[in-house]
């Protein structure tokens, strides 16, 4: 009970400030009152002078009724109400001074009040919508903290830096997944891509991640971990079918890393990694590629693990197809292997920063899929496991190679 209360308090302390900040930003003024009302006074003076010069043949002052609608796009509710009040006073006074029949005056006043009221109403709706978006974004941030581990991560065997960029910046959590777990059998790593997008894809990804976190510590073999992942995705698909949702599969690459110079890998329909070593970058051939998670019943061959070279000083780069299938305006795919050769002599953090910037430049900032990349390097000799060392693993991971601490998102 005490643990539950502590966790609830921690969640509230982490989420509420973000919510307050997001809501405050959504309703904050983008133009200072002095500039807004100074410009309004100047505009009013110009319109009134022009109205006097044109006489009764062409009345210009009534055109001021569009100003509250314009201000509602960027102003606060108070600013919009203030502008609307000012405009109503100016327009109504102008109509009274210019004279006319009772019905002309009445219709002019009613039209002015309605136009100004619509401007205020539009502002209220805009700010309400922006506030709701801010709350949803805060919820997405909290969800991401539960699903995806902050990077970098230091274990007793490897330092992992990462790049994560969902296709929609406001969504924050996409269909790509990753996790790093230190277990009694070594460090286990997964990177995967859930079929499809949206909340349903996130649910399938969370099912796979939950199973991986448990099985990575329980199963002595890497194939046992993968079998547990398969069962979890199948169970999730069974539940999805019962609730009328689409069944999904997950392409994934699962790695097992120990103190040797090789890595175990089980490939479930995923892209092969790249090895950056001695100033060169090259694809790592995977000779045993099985079907994606959730589709084992379609294959007669069991999944098997194979050995990959991972010498000390090398960087092993694993990624999702959002990288290789990124296209430029001409429809050309991103030349990953060519570009990686330029950065083969750089550290993990520098490679990821360069890759992120180059992808944005290549695509013109237009992404068609989520992007997840992990850069793995052997941990320095004598590194303590975060399981044993407790908090502070991420700063130590950054310090291990003299690289800045934090995610690229």
Tokens 């959002």 found at:
322
Tens-digit pLDDT profile for residues 357-369: 999 999 998 877 8
Residue 195 has pLDDT above 70, yes or no: yes
Output the pLDDT for position 389: 37
Least confident range from 10-19, 212-221, 243-252, 317-326: namely 10-19
Name 242's Cβ contacts closer than 8 Å, sequence gap at least 6: none
CB 318 within 8 A of CB 273: yes
Task: Tell me the C-alpha distance between 369 and 150, whole Å.
Answer: 21
Peptide bond between residue 152 and the one before it cis (omega within 30 degrees of 0): yes
Average pLDDT, rounded, for the chain: 81
Q: What is the pLDDT of residues 65-117, one digit of tens each?
A: 888 888 888 888 888 898 889 988 888 888 777 776 777 778 778 888 898 89
Q: What DSSP state is assigned to residue 298?
A: G
Peptide bond into 116 cis (omega under 30): no
**Alpha helix positions (H), 148-221:** 198-218
Percentage with pLDDT > 90 across the chain: 40
The answer to whether 260 touches 158, Cβ cutoff 8 Å, is no
Q: Which position has the token pair 């133009």? A: 31
Residues ≥6 apart with Cβ < 8 Å to 105:
95, 96
- Element holding 138 (H helix, E strand): helix 102-147
Q: Which residue has the higher pLDDT, 5 or 231?
A: 231
pLDDT of residue 22: 60
């Amino acid at each position: 009970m005490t643990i539950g209360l502590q966790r609830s308090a921690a969640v509230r302390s982490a989420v509420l400030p973000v919510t307050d900040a997001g809501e405050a930003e959504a309703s904050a003024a983008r133009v200072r009152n002095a500039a807004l009302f100074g410009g309004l006074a100047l505009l009013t003076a110009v319109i009134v002078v022009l109205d006097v010069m044109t006489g009764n043949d062409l009345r210009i002052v009534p055109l001021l009724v569009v100003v509250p609608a314009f201000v509602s796009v960027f102003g606060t509710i108070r600013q919009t109400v203030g502008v609307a009040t000012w405009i109503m006073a100016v327009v109504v006074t102008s109509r009274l001074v210019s004279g006319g029949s009772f019905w002309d005056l009445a219709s002019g006043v009613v039209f002015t009040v309605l136009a100004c009221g619509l401007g205020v109403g539009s502002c209220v709706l805009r700010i309400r919508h922006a506030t709701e978006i801010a709350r949803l974004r805060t919820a997405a941030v909290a969800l991401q903290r539960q699903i995806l581990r902050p990077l970098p991560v230091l274990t007793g065997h490897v330092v992992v830096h990462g790049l994560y960029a969902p296709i929609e910046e406001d969504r924050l959590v996409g269909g790509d997944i990753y996790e790093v777990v230190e277990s009694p059998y070594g460090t286990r790593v997964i990177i995967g891509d859930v079929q499809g997008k949206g909340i349903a894809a996130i649910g399938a990804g969370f099912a796979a991640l939950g199973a991986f976190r448990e099985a990575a510590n329980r199963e002595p073999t890497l194939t046992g971990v993968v079998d547990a992942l398969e069962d979890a995705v199948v169970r999730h698909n069974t539940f999805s079918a019962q609730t009328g949702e689409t069944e999904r599969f997950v392409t994934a690459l699962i790695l097992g890393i120990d103190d040797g110079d090789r890595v175990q890998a089980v490939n479930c329909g995923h892209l092969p990694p790249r090895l950056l070593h001695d100033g060169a970058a090259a694809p790592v051939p995977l000779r045993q590629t099985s079907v994606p998670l959730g589709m084992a019943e379609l294959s007669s061959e069991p999944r098997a693990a194979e050995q990959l070279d991972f010498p000390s000083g090398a960087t092993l780069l694993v990624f999702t197809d959002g990288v290789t299938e990124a296209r430029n305006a001409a429809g050309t795919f991103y030349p990953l292997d060519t570009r990686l050769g330029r950065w083969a002599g750089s550290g993990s953090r520098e490679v990821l920063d360069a890759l992120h910037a180059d992808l944005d430049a290549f695509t013109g900032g237009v992404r068609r899929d989520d992007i997840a990349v992990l850069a793995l390097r052997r941990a320095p000799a004598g590194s303590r496991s975060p399981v044993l060392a407790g908090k502070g693993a991420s700063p130590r991971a950054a310090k291990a190679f003299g690289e800045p601490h934090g995610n690229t998102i």
